[in-house]
Amino acid sequence: IQVFIERKLKLPPSPFPTLPIIGHLYLLKAPLHRTYHKLSTKLGPIFSLQLGNRFIVIVSSPNLVEECFTKNDIVLASRPRLIIGKYVGYNYTSLAISPYGDHWRNLRRFNTVEVFSTHRLNMFISTRQDEIRLQLQKLYEKSKHDFVRVELRNVLSELTFNNIMRMVAGKRYFGEGEDNEESKSFRELIEEVFELGGVSNPGDFLPFLRWIDYKGFEKTLARVTAKIDVFLQSLIDEHRRYKNTSTMIDHLLSLQESEPEYYSDMMIKANIMLMLLAGTDTSAVTMEWAISALLNHPDKLDKARAEIDNLVGNERLIDESDISHLPYLQNITSEAFRLFPAAPLLVPHESSADCKIAGYDIPKGTILQVNAWAIHRDPTIWDDPTTFKPERFEAGEVAPPKLVPFGMGRRSCPGSGLAERVIRLTLASLIQCFEWKRIGEATVDLTEGKGISMPKAIPLEAMLKARDVLHKVLAEAS
């Protein structure tokens, strides 16, 4: 800050006091989006913090989000080098973590065409439907006679994890016959990374803590990611031996043949790791929140079910092509994205040159965070903002910068289309196939827990019972 004062910069307001060495680190309490929200009610929609040796700016209004990701989009398209990126991002080379530049552009292009294009997503429709059906079958076995108590978190994370694994590697990792030790420990390692990612690591802001490896953070991260690396390498080796043409690994391996240096094994592993980290929990957590909110509003659950029954009837399971004819279901997912954004502060950006936001000077190297969670609950934008009300979207689609669960601009989430497909079809299937009740009279607790993707503090449990459609479809099939 001293340097900025000497340069006579006009910086965004910041809280008092700034302590020597640690700056405002003393203010950071989890969950961060709530802490930032409180600060923004005092300091305004743009404010700054000095966290150790890093200067951070937090914005929390649609106008400022727009200014950041239109006028300043390129300058703000880089990422800070946080310690976790060294390990999880294979030395800052993976798409989500790499700095803005040619390498990022290449990766983004590859993923847009080979993973996230409509053509590629359509190729995996039957995989998604198959994974959902497998989970429905399991739940059916438990609930075909009467209401049973079920924990949903595992069901949903198994579903999203298998979906991504099948796109990436053409194989499931969980399920009958595959619940072996190898897959279990792989999943546990991925969960460990999520937990590590959820803590803001003081070593990122106070370099001397990094030298002494404060709380062994870096050592743990290195140990866990080294183990994951072994799994990922074995997946690649397997694909080298048995060629299949449609998975992401096969595509990257064929590119490796012509450009071995660029499409190295490390680059491929970084891409797989990213898909698993960015694409599984985010969707699972969103669905868990959505079902929780519906259980607390049974009238809305009934309304969604009536819409589905009307369109699909009870002779067949809903499929992806039905979703566009279900506006209320789509409104439910929009409302879940609004109230429970799985990345409440998006992913941190970094300015690669000096720029201005709201007339303030933003020096090169500033970390920018967007408080999407606060924007989504701002009473000047939304009526009755803390209430779950899918009807609010009946007036028409709401887009960025007001609704930004996937961010905005060139660094926004490339997986949003996939996430929407998985979330909508899974929710629709669960609503179509089961009667739902809360465990008791009390409403489902909606407290946020710790972790990178804003999980529920208490995993969701609910009572469910199979409906007619499942008896018909599954009994016929067996």
- The binding site for ligand HEM (CB under 6 A) comprises 95-96, 108, 164, 274-275, 278-279, 282-283, 286, 341-343, 346-347, 405-407, 411-415, 418-419
Name the residue among 173, 167, 161 with its Cα closest to residue 121: 167
Within 10 angstroms of residue 101's Cβ, the number of other Cβ atoms is 11
Residue of 348, 397, 413 whose CA lies nearest to 200: 348
Strand partners, 315: none
Q: CA–CA separation, 333 vs 95, rounded Å? A: 26
Among candidates 339, 306, 342, 344, which has minimal Cα distance to 422?
Answer: 342
Q: How far is the CB of 354 from ligand HEM (least distance, A)?
A: 20
Please say whether the beta carbons of 69 and 401 come within 8 A.
yes
Look up tokens 């305004």; give the residue.
44
For residue 444, the minimal CB distance to ligand HEM (Å) is 19
Tell me the three state secondary structure of residue 470: helix
Shortest Å, Cβ 418 to ligand HEM: 5
Nearer to ligand HEM, 85 or 203 (CB): 85
Instruction: Please give the full DSSP string across 117-156, using - where no structure is assigned.
Output: SHHHHHHTHHHHHHHHHHHHHHHHHHHSSS-EEEEHHHHH
323, 425 contact by CB (below 8 A):
yes
Report the C-alpha gap between 160 and 153 in whole angstroms. Answer: 11
Minimum CB separation of residue 79 from ligand HEM in Å reads: 7
Task: Pick the closer one to ligand HEM by CB: 80 or 415.
Answer: 415
Q: Tell me the one-letter amino acid at 373.
A: W
Q: How many CB atoms neighbour CB 209 within 10 A?
A: 17
Q: Which residue is nearest to ligand HEM (CB)?
A: 415
d(CA 86, CA 364): 21
Cα–Cα distance between 358 and 135 in angstroms, integer? 49
SS3 for 435? Answer: strand
Nearer Cβ to ligand HEM, position 173 or 406? 406
Query: Encoding tokens for residue 125?
Result: 């429709």
CA distance 274 to 269: 8
Collapse the DSSP code of 383 into the 3-class scheme (helix H, G, I; strand E, B; otherwise coil) and give the result: coil
How far is it, in rounded angstroms, from Cα 282 to Cα 120? 20
Instruction: Judge whether 401 and 71 are in contact, CB under 8 Å.
Output: no
Residue in the block written with tokens 């008092």? 16
Residue 459: how many CB atoms within 10 A of its CB?
13
Q: How far is the CB of 120 from ligand HEM (least distance, A)?
A: 11
Instruction: Select 140 or 373, whichever has its Cβ closest to ligand HEM.
Output: 373
CB 292 within 8 A of CB 446: yes
Cβ of residue 406: shortest distance to ligand HEM, in angstroms? 5
* Residues 151, 340, 98, 119, CA torsion sign: positive
Q: Nearest approach, Cβ of 206 to ligand HEM (angstroms)?
A: 25
- End-to-end CA separation in angstroms for the chain: 69
Please identify, using beta-carbon distances, which residue of 144 and 171 lies nearer to ligand HEM: 171
For the beta carbon of residue 29, count every other beta carbon within 10 angstroms: 9
Shortest distance (Å) from residue 410 CB to ligand HEM: 7
